[in-house]
Structure 1
């Protein structure tokens, strides 16, 4: 969305038209809708603007729920925006530390700032891009305790603020067709500024979950967050926002609530054991936080193979921190023998999971020429260093 499209959208006619549209349908007849809107006299630019927003609002529902229908978005802003449920946990850190006035440097469309304002924090949201700052202003308009400023994070006056929140831009500049930045020095603001700021005031920082762990400052609490099994971010917390005695944590959000595994440092792995009746696949947040050893000890489990994030045990213990599988059979790893074994078992639908082996599951699935009415899960991995194919079934009763 460029400036002219935003001007069209923010006009009284634009907002009325946007709110009057039926729910966006990905398979809908867009050409016909454009034609119908043009026939009743709407300008081409306005039609483009409202239809783009309708599409973005639909895409935003998984992150913002019912609030998405009253917000505005840019393509890039929605891509990086924090899920509202996670943003509420961010805001809770500031509330818990009694840091009442927060500056959100690089606010994007304002998702985190919305959560802060909803929790009665006084928040100033700052973004260098005019269009993005205007979109954030619209989204934060319902809150009297929030304001938006267009400015540069590196030069913004921080006097009077108790703490800062930063979500550095990790994509190239622009509102659409952006690409992911791979070098932390290219982030905006860059991490030298971010970590330098942590020496001046309490700050929280949102980074990608795959961020290089070697670049995590020793004084930071690092928390990896997953939502419904999908790893979404790594948060770094400094000063009063970091918890005493915790430097690594895995926070899981699911339908049952929140679950956390935390430790003062990376946990030491447990020993490698023989394959038991059950296989555990730790959540991505646990793996990234390097708390697999602590999880294994809590489960009475052992490593399946050194350096591979699968655990095994003879008994089943419910845990929200891993998906459990019952081991049905050990099949030949040889592809031809594996194909025959699956055909004998009439398996036509196969989920393939793998760790520690160089195999493309999609390619292998095609070569296996599956036929039959049965479904199964196949785990390709190593046991004590040796390649194995495990036919397993997911245990559905775990939380």
Structure 2
């Protein structure tokens, strides 16, 4: 849960004395081994605010992977839930004008929204931090997301995925605010709601479009878009963001005609956003690939999509531990990456049972075609 900041803590951290203390202590190691020395140094420099200063220094070291504030103020929970900057920037690009961020917290999302956007939150401490992080010109208010205090602008919300006891929850009814309550309170308004990608989208039948977003190969979140914010004719969307590369997107309005075939020259594991959004067939159709099985997300074909990690097939056959052990020995495999989908196989115990001792490094995909378990031995390559 982290340190519980107070309004007095935030006022101190924003003061000249607080800024001087943060600067003077910025070089502390902040490790388990240095804990007592760090606390002693912080007490000398910041007096009764030593804990707030130490927590802020720790959070600032974690913050660059999530937000771009210079000398920002954060709480541990707020930083954990903050949207990564490239994802927030992408979402902001879908708005054409000012937005009301109903759960603005420390301002990480609001910082990327179009000029004139406003924020509100029920937590006065986080609002004070947002004021520090965003500057004096952004409109902020203490208000309940279930009673939107704005008119005529789209709404954005990021419900906390912890229950009232602070425990992480995956039940939308336990979100703060609850997902259905938020939808009801914003009925008739254009609304976008950030959610964890693991949420069962069926619990939000009011969402006109569900977008799943990945960043550098990791599925980060889903966003539920309604009314005028949704794309006409689109119910599902996968958006793939990669550092240093152009983003791309795929929707259920794209063609989805693809065959089912045995493993060919290449095996492709689609980006997790594509899989979570249920757009594997659409991805296959776009890139001229086939499915190994119509219910499994592995694809195959003669040419893999550019810019992905794909697997050049060496051989394939019916899977059993005995058969796989023999194949790996024949190929002198000593280092093995094991990928599993559709089979009840735990890679770590399996790797120990295989007793690898060769000099080659390869990958094996364990999956099923129909009811038959199969292996695909391959070499991973970056295309």
TM-score by length of 2: 0.89
Question: Match of 1:34?
Answer: 38
**Are 1:318 and 2:320 counterparts?**
no
Distance in 1 of aligned mates of 2:377 and 2:28: 41
Asked if 2 retains the 8 angstrom alpha-carbon contact of 1:282 and 1:323, the reply is no
Secondary structure of the 1:149 match is: strand
Q: How far off is 1:215 after superposition?
A: 2.4
Question: Match of 1:287?
Answer: 275
TM-aligned CA distance change 1:370 to 1:27, over 3 Å: farther
Question: Match of 1:217?
Answer: 205
Question: Match of 1:165?
Answer: 156
Structure 2 unmatched runs, 5+: none
After superposition, residues 1-399 of structure 1 pair within 5 angstroms as 1-4=3-6, 5-6=9-10, 8-22=12-26, 29-31=33-35, 33-34=37-38, 37-38=41-42, 40-43=44-47, 45-64=48-67, 67-95=68-96, 99-100=97-98, 102-116=99-113, 119-120=114-115, 122-141=116-135, 144=137, 146-159=138-151, 161-173=152-164, 178-217=166-205, 220-254=208-242, 255-264=244-253, 270-313=258-301, 315-319=302-306, 323-330=309-316, 333-397=319-383
Distance in 1 of aligned mates of 2:104 and 2:262: 50
Asked if 2 retains the 8 angstrom alpha-carbon contact of 1:208 and 1:232, the reply is yes
Task: Map Cα deviations across residues 52-95 of structure 1 (whole Å, 9 max, x no partner).
Answer: 2222222221222xx24421111111111111122122222222
Secondary structure of the 2:315 match is: strand
Asked if 2 retains the 8 angstrom alpha-carbon contact of 1:198 and 1:238, the reply is no
Secondary structure of the 1:93 match is: coil
C-alpha RMSD of matched pairs (Å): 2.6
Q: How far off is 1:279 after superposition?
A: 0.8
Secondary structure of the 1:70 match is: coil
Asked if 1 retains the 8 angstrom alpha-carbon contact of 2:325 and 2:354, the reply is yes
Asked if 2 retains the 8 angstrom alpha-carbon contact of 1:23 and 1:54, the reply is no
TM-aligned CA distance change 1:149 to 1:345, over 3 Å: same
Secondary structure of the 2:141 match is: strand
Secondary structure of the 2:342 match is: coil
Once structures 1 and 2 are overlaid, which stretch shifts more, 161-170 or 330-339? 330-339
Distance in 2 of aligned mates of 1:199 and 1:356: 40
Q: How far off is 1:167 after superposition?
A: 0.8
What is the count of residue pairs matched by the alignment?
378
Task: Map Cα deviations across residues 135-158 of structure 1 (whole Å, 9 max, x no partner).
Answer: 2222122x51x1222221112422
TM-score by length of 1: 0.85
Distance in 1 of aligned mates of 2:278 and 2:169: 25
Q: How far off is 1:212 after superposition?
A: 0.9
Q: How far off is 1:16 after superposition?
A: 2.2
Q: How far off is 1:243 after superposition?
A: 1.9
Secondary structure of the 1:395 match is: strand
